[in-house]
Amino acid sequence: MENGVAVTVIEVGPRDGLQNLSFFVETENKAALIRKLAGSGIREIQIGSFVNPRAVPQFRDMEDLVSSLGDLRSVTMTCLVPNAAGARAALRAGMRKLVYFFSVSESHNLSNVRQGREESLKGLRSVLAETAGTADAEVTVALATVFGCPFEGYLPKDEVLGWVERVASLGVGEITLCDTVGWGNPRQVEEICSSCRELFPETVFAVHFHDTRGLGLANALKAFEVGIRRFDAALGGLGGCPFAPGASGNIATEDLVFMFDGMGVSTGIRLEALLDVTSYLREIVPGVVVTSALARAGLPRPRGPQARETRASR
Amino acid sequence: MENGVAVTVIEVGPRDGLQNLSFFVETENKAALIRKLAGSGIREIQIGSFVNPRAVPQFRDMEDLVSSLGDLRSVTMTCLVPNAAGARAALRAGMRKLVYFFSVSESHNLSNVRQGREESLKGLRSVLAETAGTADAEVTVALATVFGCPFEGYLPKDEVLGWVERVASLGVGEITLCDTVGWGNPRQVEEICSSCRELFPETVFAVHFHDTRGLGLANALKAFEVGIRRFDAALGGLGGCPFAPGASGNIATEDLVFMFDGMGVSTGIRLEALLDVTSYLREIVPGVVVTSALARAGLPRPRGPQARETRASR
């Protein structure tokens, strides 16, 4: 709870959305997008990845991007780092909140980052060592395929919790539980999130849901109900294939905020301003398919002379 | 709870989906669709409306359709009736479960059925009188705009409950609470559904959610959690404008069943068979935009040699 905000919506579109694009988004457009997101009230934004620019050319401008946003004090900016070299580059650029990631599924981790989970855990130790000398630096961990792996299926809960424990035991204060492929369902989300919160009360848990099979917001609702207060989301529902209609990516920031807003759960984000940012996204990513239902349908607005209530009765 | 089924998913696509089409779907195709839906395990289907064929030409073949489905005993077939004449025609055709509908919002009712709510309540009495002589006939009521009206906004909860009470007091045993325009949110759904169940314990409540702003499944989840066990849904998410990408209609039957299935809540419906019906729908409604996320993404299936669990850990 910060400044009366009940939940923190973490915008990951600049990273998880833009990384899949086949063309480069100019640094000034990225910066403008991030500033507009901040202007709508978003307080934490994942701005990109410190990865090999040959692997992901979209992020070849990370140093310039961070530098150009140096005055943006209202927002916690985070970035992905795949290893100690990435962490070093991120710290050098001025980043202070780094997100290290690996998969709780061995085969998905091999496929995604070309190393096994034990190797990834070693990598995490290196990243922690790399940042240890920077007083205000923080490393969080995003665990992929927590709610299902495209190769192995649904992992046993104990195996998932085992990896959470190994990460937490290294002193990582925040862990993001990711439904990488949109296989999760509310009951499973309840069980895994509840167990995590019970077993690791010192750890802050965030969730990252994809809406691939339509359950993203239902899963977010359930996570909220069992005490999760930090939610990744991407403007426009980016994060799938950005030009394929319906290839859903992340839950859409607009829709998530609309849900919380309607429920009276404060996010600190102004929906009208956020929808203006969606329009800006369409400008800088021509042809992008926005899957946000709210962006498509618009805010509910009574249009009759009898208009009375613009908020749900409570 | 019937035959071990925890929730009843009521397929309304043949009515709420097809009614918006600009062309006629042949009676034999409608009948085949309904039979295939039944074959997937669906046990209640809204097959059409007994309305003026000049107003809705799609339903000009209702008598023939009902007649051609006379041997389909596994399914409860329902139809909309706007008035006593419609009820008479439905009964004559052989229908036994009739759904009368009006809106709890005066202006929406005026816009939709060209009469005020008091007039609609009189109409309900006529329909009840019309069916009173048929021993096995049942009239249920669908109340529109319970979770928001496009003209008036969110109605006060007491006004909504007042109309529920007036309907229930006429002896109507089942009432469907409809989010006609997709304005509802989980907290509001919880409050209205809980109040209805507490205040009218003799009445069975169903819900009908549209996914216009992305919250359809989250709302269904919440309704389930407060005891609702009957859910309208439409195959493919039909019910909006059927050829406009993203103009979401009803929650998609496929996605709703996927959610319940994953949660271990039995619907009696086989998802693979249901997805085959979605394919058939595409055949008989060429160009239809299926908004079901599951139909698009497919059932989660691990595709690696390491495949282990195909169900979420519980």
Q: What is the pLDDT of residues B32-60, one digit of tens each?
A: 999 999 999 999 999 999 999 998 999 99
Task: Note the pLDDT of residue B5.
Answer: 83
What pairing do the DSSP bridges indicate for beta strands A44-49 and A8-11?
Answer: parallel
Q: Has residue A220 been placed in a domain?
A: yes
Give me the tens of pLDDT residue by residue for chain B, a chain 314 residues long.
445 789 999 999 999 999 988 899 999 999 999 999 999 999 999 999 999 999 899 999 999 999 999 999 999 999 999 999 999 999 999 999 999 999 999 999 999 999 999 999 999 999 999 999 999 999 999 999 999 999 999 999 999 999 999 999 999 999 999 999 899 999 999 999 999 999 999 999 999 999 999 999 999 999 999 999 999 999 999 987 666 555 579 999 999 999 999 999 999 999 999 999 999 999 999 989 899 999 999 999 998 887 876 666 44
Which residues in chain A have Cβ-Cβ distances shorter than 8 Å to B293? Answer: 182, 211-215, 246, 248
State the residue for tokens 């001025």: A94
Task: Note the pLDDT of residue A4.
Answer: 73
Mark yes or no for CB contact B107/A215 under 8 Å: no
> What CA–CA distance (Å, rounded) separates B261 from B41?
13
Count up the domains in chain A and report the number: 1
Task: Note the pLDDT of residue B187.
Answer: 98
Mark yes or no for CB contact A218/B217 under 8 Å: yes
Mark yes or no for CB contact A150/B312 under 8 Å: no
**Mind telling me how many Å the CA of B197 is from chain A's nearest CA?**
17
Residue A245: closest C-alpha in chain B:
B245
Mark yes or no for CB contact B304/A151 under 8 Å: yes
Q: Has residue B25 been placed in a domain?
A: yes
Q: Which residue is catalytic, options A79, A178, A193, A241?
A: A241
Mark yes or no for CB contact A312/B220 under 8 Å: no
CATH number of the domain where residue B43 is located: 3.20.20.70
Please, which pLDDT band fits residue A243 given cuts at 50, 70 and 90?
Answer: low
Which residues in chain A have Cβ-Cβ distances shorter than 8 Å to B154? Answer: 308-313
> What CA–CA distance (Å, rounded) separates B25 from B32?
11
Q: Has residue B304 been placed in a domain?
A: no
Mark yes or no for CB contact A213/B300 under 8 Å: yes
Q: Has residue A309 been placed in a domain?
A: no
Q: Has residue B289 been placed in a domain?
A: yes
Task: Note the pLDDT of residue A305.
Answer: 80
Task: Note the pLDDT of residue B241.
Answer: 63
Q: Has residue B220 been placed in a domain?
A: yes
* B312 closest CB neighbour out of A106, A154, A306: A154
Mark yes or no for CB contact B312/A106 under 8 Å: no
Task: Note the pLDDT of residue A303.
Answer: 85
Mark yes or no for CB contact A297/B248 under 8 Å: yes
Task: Note the pLDDT of residue B1.
Answer: 45
Mark yes or no for CB contact A217/B213 under 8 Å: no
* B310 closest CB neighbour out of A153, A186, A217: A153
Mark yes or no for CB contact B297/A182 under 8 Å: yes
| Two tokens, residue B6 | 């925890």
Query: Which residue, among B87, B124, B86, B85, has the nearest Cα to B103 in the 3D structure?
Result: B124
Q: Has residue B120 been placed in a domain?
A: yes
Mark yes or no for CB contact B214/A292 under 8 Å: yes
Which residues in chain B have Cβ-Cβ distances shorter than 8 Å to A185? Answer: 258-259, 262-263, 312
**Mind telling me how many Å the CA of B278 is from chain A's nearest CA?**
15
What separation, in Å, do the N-terminal and C-terminal C-alpha atoms of chain B show?
22
What pairing do the DSSP bridges indicate for beta strands A97-103 and A138-144?
Answer: parallel
User: What are the phi and psi torsion angles at B45 (to 5°)?
Assistant: -135, 130
Task: Note the pLDDT of residue B4.
Answer: 73
The per-residue pLDDT of chain A, averaged, comes to: 94
Task: Note the pLDDT of residue B314.
Answer: 43
Note the ipTM here.
0.94
**Mind telling me how many Å the CA of A102 is from chain B's nearest CA?**
18
Q: Which of A96-100, A190-194, A287-291, B121-125 has the lowest mean pLDDT?
A: A287-291
Which residues in chain B have Cβ-Cβ distances shorter than 8 Å to A106? Answer: 306
Query: SS3 letters for chain B?
Result: CECCECCEEEECHHHHHHHHCCCCCCHHHHHHHHHHHHHCCCCEEEEEECCCCCCCHHHCCHHHHHHHCCCCCCCEEEEEECCHHHHHHHHHHCCCEEEEEEECCHHHHHHHHCCCHHHHHHHHHHHHHHHHCCCCCEEEEEEECCCCECCCECCCHHHHHHHHHHHHCCCCCEEEEEECCCCCCHHHHHHHHHHHHHHCCCCEEEEEEECCCCCHHHHHHHHHHCCCCEEEEEHHHCCCCCCCCCCCCECEHHHHHHHHHHHCCCCCCCHHHHHHHHHHHHHHCCCCCCCCHHHHHCCCCCCCCCCCECCCCC
Query: Which residue, among B170, A128, A117, A48, has the nearest Cα to B143 in the 3D structure?
Result: B170
* B213 closest CB neighbour out of A247, A255, A309: A255
Which residues in chain B have Cβ-Cβ distances shorter than 8 Å to A300? Answer: 148, 150, 153, 181-183, 213
> What CA–CA distance (Å, rounded) separates A84 from B147?
51
Q: What is the pLDDT of residues A201-235, one digit of tens each?
A: 999 999 999 999 999 999 999 999 999 999 999 99
**pLDDT score of A162 more than 90:** yes
With residue A123 as reference, give the H or E element that holds it.
helix A117-132
Which residues in chain B have Cβ-Cβ distances shorter than 8 Å to A266? Answer: none
Residue B264: closest C-alpha in chain A:
A187
**Mind telling me how many Å the CA of A205 is from chain B's nearest CA?**
20
User: What number of C-beta contacts closer than 8 Å exist between A and B?
Assistant: 221
Residue B155: closest C-alpha in chain A:
A309
Task: Note the pLDDT of residue A1.
Answer: 44
**Mind telling me how many Å the CA of B105 is from chain A's nearest CA?**
10
Give Cβ neighbours of residue B194 (< 8 Å, ≥ 6 apart). B226, B227
Q: Treating both helix axes as pointing N-terminal to C-terminal, what angle do B216-225 and B253-263 enclose, rounded to 10 degrees?
A: 40
**Mind telling me how many Å the CA of B145 is from chain A's nearest CA?**
12
| Two tokens, residue B62 | 């209702």
**Residue B195: which domain range?**
8-297
Q: Has residue B305 been placed in a domain?
A: no
Look up residue B198 and give its amino acid. E
> What CA–CA distance (Å, rounded) separates B67 from B247?
33
Mark yes or no for CB contact B188/A314 under 8 Å: yes
User: What are the phi and psi torsion angles at B159 (to 5°)?
Assistant: -70, -40
**pLDDT score of A248 more than 90:** no
**Mind telling me how many Å the CA of A7 is from chain B's nearest CA?**
15
Higher pLDDT, residue A243 or B278: B278
**Catalytic residue status for A241:** yes
**pLDDT score of A313 more than 80:** no
Which residues in chain A have Cβ-Cβ distances shorter than 8 Å to B106? Answer: 306
